Amino acid sequence: MRSDASWLENIITEFIASSPENSLRNEENERAWDQPLVGFSRGDDPLYPFFKEDIGPFYWTPEEIMSLTFPGVALAPGRLTVISWVLPHTAATRSDNAAQKDLPAERWSRARNFGEDCNHALARHVVSLLAARGIMAVAPTLSPLWAWQEAEKYGFASNWSERHAAYVSGLGTFGLCDGLITRRGKAMRCGSVVAALAVEPTPRPYTSCRQYCLFYSGEKCRKCAARCPVGAVTDDGHDKEKCRRYLFETAAPNAEARYGFASYGCGLCQTGVPCEAGIPAPGD
Protein backbone atom coordinates (compact mmCIF):
# COMPACT_ATOMS: atom_id res chain seq x y z
CA MET A 1 0.00 0.00 0.00
CA ARG A 2 2.89 2.34 0.80
CA SER A 3 4.44 1.59 -2.59
CA ASP A 4 1.14 2.54 -4.27
CA ALA A 5 1.15 5.80 -2.30
CA SER A 6 4.74 6.55 -3.39
CA TRP A 7 3.94 5.65 -6.99
CA LEU A 8 0.96 8.02 -7.03
CA GLU A 9 2.89 10.82 -5.30
CA ASN A 10 5.63 10.46 -7.90
CA ILE A 11 3.19 10.54 -10.82
CA ILE A 12 1.64 13.77 -9.56
CA THR A 13 4.91 15.46 -8.60
CA GLU A 14 6.58 14.46 -11.86
CA PHE A 15 3.69 15.75 -13.96
CA ILE A 16 3.81 19.16 -12.31
CA ALA A 17 7.61 19.27 -12.57
CA SER A 18 7.85 18.35 -16.23
CA SER A 19 4.57 18.66 -18.13
CA PRO A 20 4.32 21.50 -20.67
CA GLU A 21 0.73 21.82 -19.43
CA ASN A 22 2.10 23.46 -16.29
CA SER A 23 2.28 26.90 -17.85
CA LEU A 24 0.75 30.34 -17.41
CA ARG A 25 0.84 30.61 -21.20
CA ASN A 26 2.48 34.01 -20.95
CA GLU A 27 5.44 35.23 -23.02
CA GLU A 28 7.92 33.84 -20.49
CA ASN A 29 6.06 30.50 -20.38
CA GLU A 30 6.27 30.58 -16.58
CA ARG A 31 4.99 27.58 -14.69
CA ALA A 32 1.54 27.89 -13.15
CA TRP A 33 2.14 25.69 -10.10
CA ASP A 34 4.80 24.91 -7.57
CA GLN A 35 5.51 21.43 -6.25
CA PRO A 36 2.24 19.78 -5.14
CA LEU A 37 1.12 18.27 -1.85
CA VAL A 38 -0.53 14.86 -2.08
CA GLY A 39 -2.85 13.13 0.43
CA PHE A 40 -5.04 10.04 0.53
CA SER A 41 -8.29 9.15 2.26
CA ARG A 42 -10.32 5.96 2.45
CA GLY A 43 -13.53 5.66 0.47
CA ASP A 44 -15.32 4.62 3.67
CA ASP A 45 -14.11 7.58 5.72
CA PRO A 46 -17.21 8.64 7.74
CA LEU A 47 -16.65 12.27 6.72
CA TYR A 48 -17.87 11.51 3.18
CA PRO A 49 -21.39 10.41 4.24
CA PHE A 50 -21.34 13.26 6.77
CA PHE A 51 -20.83 15.76 3.90
CA LYS A 52 -23.73 14.18 2.02
CA GLU A 53 -25.93 14.55 5.08
CA ASP A 54 -24.76 18.12 5.72
CA ILE A 55 -24.54 19.52 2.17
CA GLY A 56 -27.38 17.69 0.45
CA PRO A 57 -28.47 14.36 -1.06
CA PHE A 58 -26.89 15.33 -4.41
CA TYR A 59 -23.38 15.27 -2.85
CA TRP A 60 -21.44 12.15 -3.91
CA THR A 61 -19.66 9.75 -1.64
CA PRO A 62 -16.62 8.08 -3.30
CA GLU A 63 -18.68 4.88 -3.71
CA GLU A 64 -21.48 6.74 -5.49
CA ILE A 65 -19.33 8.44 -8.12
CA MET A 66 -17.57 5.13 -8.78
CA SER A 67 -20.92 3.32 -9.15
CA LEU A 68 -22.18 6.04 -11.50
CA THR A 69 -18.99 5.77 -13.57
CA PHE A 70 -18.75 1.97 -13.58
CA PRO A 71 -22.39 0.79 -13.39
CA GLY A 72 -22.90 -2.81 -12.42
CA VAL A 73 -19.49 -3.17 -10.76
CA ALA A 74 -19.69 -3.81 -7.02
CA LEU A 75 -17.05 -1.76 -5.21
CA ALA A 76 -16.78 -1.82 -1.41
CA PRO A 77 -16.11 1.71 -0.11
CA GLY A 78 -13.30 0.39 2.09
CA ARG A 79 -11.44 -0.70 -1.06
CA LEU A 80 -11.59 2.79 -2.59
CA THR A 81 -9.11 5.63 -2.14
CA VAL A 82 -9.52 9.34 -2.76
CA ILE A 83 -6.23 10.68 -4.14
CA SER A 84 -6.13 14.41 -3.45
CA TRP A 85 -3.58 17.06 -4.38
CA VAL A 86 -2.87 20.72 -3.73
CA LEU A 87 -1.21 22.86 -6.41
CA PRO A 88 0.34 25.94 -4.76
CA HIS A 89 0.58 29.18 -6.70
CA THR A 90 4.11 30.39 -7.41
CA ALA A 91 5.69 33.18 -5.36
CA ALA A 92 5.48 35.52 -8.39
CA THR A 93 1.73 34.94 -8.77
CA ARG A 94 1.12 35.34 -5.05
CA SER A 95 3.16 38.51 -4.87
CA ASP A 96 1.38 40.07 -7.88
CA ASN A 97 -2.04 39.29 -6.49
CA ALA A 98 -1.15 40.47 -2.99
CA ALA A 99 -0.34 43.88 -4.49
CA GLN A 100 -3.82 44.12 -6.05
CA LYS A 101 -6.75 45.82 -4.33
CA ASP A 102 -9.81 45.55 -6.59
CA LEU A 103 -9.04 43.13 -9.40
CA PRO A 104 -6.92 40.00 -9.69
CA ALA A 105 -3.43 40.19 -11.18
CA GLU A 106 -2.77 38.89 -14.69
CA ARG A 107 -0.68 35.97 -13.41
CA TRP A 108 -3.51 34.95 -11.07
CA SER A 109 -6.07 35.13 -13.88
CA ARG A 110 -3.78 33.03 -16.05
CA ALA A 111 -3.29 30.45 -13.30
CA ARG A 112 -7.05 30.19 -12.76
CA ASN A 113 -7.55 29.62 -16.48
CA PHE A 114 -4.51 27.82 -17.93
CA GLY A 115 -3.37 26.43 -14.58
CA GLU A 116 -6.78 24.87 -14.15
CA ASP A 117 -6.40 23.26 -17.60
CA CYS A 118 -3.16 21.78 -16.24
CA ASN A 119 -5.02 20.58 -13.12
CA HIS A 120 -7.54 18.79 -15.33
CA ALA A 121 -4.78 17.32 -17.49
CA LEU A 122 -3.13 16.02 -14.30
CA ALA A 123 -6.40 14.35 -13.24
CA ARG A 124 -6.76 12.69 -16.67
CA HIS A 125 -3.11 11.60 -16.49
CA VAL A 126 -3.60 9.94 -13.08
CA VAL A 127 -6.79 8.19 -14.26
CA SER A 128 -5.12 6.90 -17.43
CA LEU A 129 -2.05 5.56 -15.59
CA LEU A 130 -4.31 3.78 -13.12
CA ALA A 131 -6.37 2.38 -16.02
CA ALA A 132 -3.15 1.12 -17.63
CA ARG A 133 -2.67 -0.96 -14.47
CA GLY A 134 -6.26 -2.24 -14.69
CA ILE A 135 -7.44 -0.02 -11.81
CA MET A 136 -10.82 1.70 -12.20
CA ALA A 137 -10.64 5.40 -11.42
CA VAL A 138 -12.52 8.64 -12.02
CA ALA A 139 -11.89 12.34 -11.51
CA PRO A 140 -15.29 13.36 -10.07
CA THR A 141 -15.18 16.99 -11.19
CA LEU A 142 -14.44 15.89 -14.78
CA SER A 143 -17.38 13.48 -14.83
CA PRO A 144 -20.11 14.51 -17.28
CA LEU A 145 -22.45 14.03 -14.31
CA TRP A 146 -20.71 16.69 -12.20
CA ALA A 147 -22.94 19.76 -11.79
CA TRP A 148 -23.73 22.77 -9.70
CA GLN A 149 -26.67 22.29 -7.37
CA GLU A 150 -28.60 24.30 -4.79
CA ALA A 151 -27.98 23.26 -1.19
CA GLU A 152 -30.62 24.30 1.31
CA LYS A 153 -28.01 25.17 3.94
CA TYR A 154 -25.15 26.53 1.81
CA GLY A 155 -26.65 27.94 -1.40
CA PHE A 156 -24.97 26.82 -4.61
CA ALA A 157 -22.74 23.79 -4.22
CA SER A 158 -21.60 20.93 -6.43
CA ASN A 159 -21.76 17.17 -6.14
CA TRP A 160 -18.04 16.93 -5.37
CA SER A 161 -15.80 19.46 -3.64
CA GLU A 162 -12.04 19.27 -4.18
CA ARG A 163 -11.40 21.23 -0.98
CA HIS A 164 -13.52 18.86 1.09
CA ALA A 165 -11.67 15.87 -0.40
CA ALA A 166 -8.36 17.57 0.47
CA TYR A 167 -9.57 18.23 4.02
CA VAL A 168 -10.47 14.55 4.51
CA SER A 169 -7.11 13.58 2.97
CA GLY A 170 -5.11 15.39 5.64
CA LEU A 171 -4.11 18.38 3.51
CA GLY A 172 -5.63 21.35 5.37
CA THR A 173 -8.49 23.05 7.20
CA PHE A 174 -10.95 25.74 6.18
CA GLY A 175 -10.44 29.46 6.77
CA LEU A 176 -12.97 32.23 7.41
CA CYS A 177 -13.24 32.87 3.64
CA ASP A 178 -13.82 29.12 2.95
CA GLY A 179 -10.39 28.64 1.35
CA LEU A 180 -8.42 25.60 2.52
CA ILE A 181 -5.33 26.49 4.55
CA THR A 182 -2.61 23.93 3.78
CA ARG A 183 1.08 23.55 4.68
CA ARG A 184 1.74 25.54 1.51
CA GLY A 185 -0.96 28.07 2.35
CA LYS A 186 -4.33 28.96 0.94
CA ALA A 187 -3.17 30.36 -2.42
CA MET A 188 -3.67 27.13 -4.34
CA ARG A 189 -6.05 24.98 -6.38
CA CYS A 190 -6.74 21.36 -5.66
CA GLY A 191 -7.89 18.26 -7.48
CA SER A 192 -8.73 14.61 -6.85
CA VAL A 193 -9.29 11.17 -8.32
CA VAL A 194 -11.23 8.27 -6.78
CA ALA A 195 -9.65 4.88 -7.45
CA ALA A 196 -10.46 1.23 -6.77
CA LEU A 197 -7.23 0.79 -4.90
CA ALA A 198 -6.49 0.56 -1.16
CA VAL A 199 -3.86 3.10 -0.12
CA GLU A 200 -2.95 3.93 3.46
CA PRO A 201 -4.79 7.16 4.37
CA THR A 202 -2.80 10.28 5.20
CA PRO A 203 -3.15 11.14 8.90
CA ARG A 204 -5.12 14.32 9.56
CA PRO A 205 -2.90 16.46 11.79
CA TYR A 206 -5.94 18.45 13.01
CA THR A 207 -9.04 17.83 15.09
CA SER A 208 -11.34 20.56 13.78
CA CYS A 209 -12.19 21.78 10.30
CA ARG A 210 -11.19 25.40 11.17
CA GLN A 211 -8.05 24.64 13.17
CA TYR A 212 -5.49 26.54 11.07
CA CYS A 213 -7.52 29.77 10.78
CA LEU A 214 -6.50 32.51 13.20
CA PHE A 215 -10.03 33.92 13.33
CA TYR A 216 -11.26 30.75 15.00
CA SER A 217 -8.35 30.47 17.40
CA GLY A 218 -9.03 33.73 19.21
CA GLU A 219 -6.62 35.87 17.16
CA LYS A 220 -9.41 37.72 15.29
CA CYS A 221 -7.33 38.29 12.11
CA ARG A 222 -10.07 38.91 9.49
CA LYS A 223 -7.36 39.87 6.95
CA CYS A 224 -9.17 37.92 4.22
CA ALA A 225 -12.37 39.90 4.93
CA ALA A 226 -10.47 43.19 4.58
CA ARG A 227 -9.04 42.01 1.23
CA CYS A 228 -12.40 41.23 -0.40
CA PRO A 229 -13.40 44.07 -2.75
CA VAL A 230 -17.13 43.34 -2.40
CA GLY A 231 -17.50 42.50 1.30
CA ALA A 232 -18.21 38.84 0.63
CA VAL A 233 -16.26 37.73 3.74
CA THR A 234 -17.55 38.71 7.17
CA ASP A 235 -17.50 37.25 10.68
CA ASP A 236 -20.35 35.04 9.46
CA GLY A 237 -18.09 33.49 6.81
CA HIS A 238 -18.13 33.54 3.01
CA ASP A 239 -21.13 34.89 1.10
CA LYS A 240 -20.87 32.63 -1.96
CA GLU A 241 -23.51 34.47 -3.95
CA LYS A 242 -21.84 37.86 -3.52
CA CYS A 243 -18.49 36.31 -4.42
CA ARG A 244 -19.90 34.57 -7.48
CA ARG A 245 -21.49 37.78 -8.75
CA TYR A 246 -18.13 39.52 -8.52
CA LEU A 247 -16.34 36.66 -10.31
CA PHE A 248 -18.84 36.50 -13.17
CA GLU A 249 -19.78 40.15 -13.50
CA THR A 250 -16.46 41.89 -12.78
CA ALA A 251 -13.39 39.61 -12.68
CA ALA A 252 -14.20 37.53 -15.78
CA PRO A 253 -15.17 40.45 -18.08
CA ASN A 254 -12.08 42.33 -16.87
CA ALA A 255 -9.79 39.41 -17.78
CA GLU A 256 -11.54 39.02 -21.12
CA ALA A 257 -11.08 42.69 -21.99
CA ARG A 258 -7.48 42.95 -20.78
CA TYR A 259 -5.97 39.54 -21.51
CA GLY A 260 -8.28 37.99 -24.07
CA PHE A 261 -9.69 35.14 -21.97
CA ALA A 262 -12.50 35.03 -19.37
CA SER A 263 -10.91 33.87 -16.13
CA TYR A 264 -13.15 33.43 -13.11
CA GLY A 265 -10.28 33.80 -10.65
CA CYS A 266 -10.02 36.48 -7.99
CA GLY A 267 -8.06 35.14 -5.01
CA LEU A 268 -7.68 38.54 -3.34
CA CYS A 269 -8.74 36.87 -0.09
CA GLN A 270 -6.10 34.16 -0.67
CA THR A 271 -3.18 36.58 -0.99
CA GLY A 272 -1.81 39.38 1.17
CA VAL A 273 -3.01 37.40 4.21
CA PRO A 274 -1.11 35.50 6.92
CA CYS A 275 -2.31 32.13 5.61
CA GLU A 276 -1.27 32.84 1.99
CA ALA A 277 1.76 30.54 1.83
CA GLY A 278 1.63 28.42 4.99
CA ILE A 279 -0.21 27.68 8.21
CA PRO A 280 -0.29 30.98 10.10
CA ALA A 281 1.19 31.17 13.59
CA PRO A 282 -0.48 33.10 16.42
CA GLY A 283 0.56 36.74 16.11
CA ASP A 284 1.15 36.59 12.31
Using rule CB under 6 A, residue 32 touches ligand SF4: no
Q: Using the rule CB under 6 A, which residue among 224, 252, 255, 277 binds ligand SF4?
A: 224
At residue 156, what are phi and psi to the nearest 5 degrees? -70, 140
Of 22, 20, 7, 40, nearest to 129 by C-alpha is 7
**Total residues found in the chain within this entry:** 284
Question: Which of these ranges, 24-32, 37-45, 50-58, 171-179, lies near ligand SF4 under the rule CB under 6 A?
Answer: 171-179
Which residue number is nearest to ligand SF4 in terms of Cβ?
A: 175
Q: Which is nearer to ligand SF4, 137 or 232 (CB)?
A: 232
Of 167, 110, 172, 120, nearest to 146 by C-alpha is 120
Q: Which is nearer to ligand SF4, 132 or 281 (CB)?
A: 281
Q: Give the shortest CB-217-to-ligand SF4 separation in angstroms.
A: 9
Q: Using the rule CB under 6 A, which residue among 32, 86, 274, 277 binds ligand SF4?
A: 274
Using rule CB under 6 A, residue 180 touches ligand SF4: no
Q: Between 2-18 and 116-132, two packed helices, what is the crossing angle to 10 degrees? A: 140
Using rule CB under 6 A, residue 232 touches ligand SF4: yes
Using rule CB under 6 A, residue 255 touches ligand SF4: no
Using rule CB under 6 A, residue 123 touches ligand SF4: no
Q: Give the shortest CB-227-to-ligand SF4 separation in angstroms.
A: 6
CA distance 42 to 34: 26
CA distance 273 to 94: 10
Q: Which amino acid is at 111?
A: A
Q: How far is CA 283 from CA 219, 221, 274, 280, in A?
A: 7, 9, 9, 8
Of 221, 224, 226, 228, nearest to 104 by C-alpha is 228
Residues that bind ligand SF4 (CB under 6 A): 175-177, 213-215, 221-224, 227-228, 230, 232-233, 238, 243, 246, 266-269, 273-275, 280
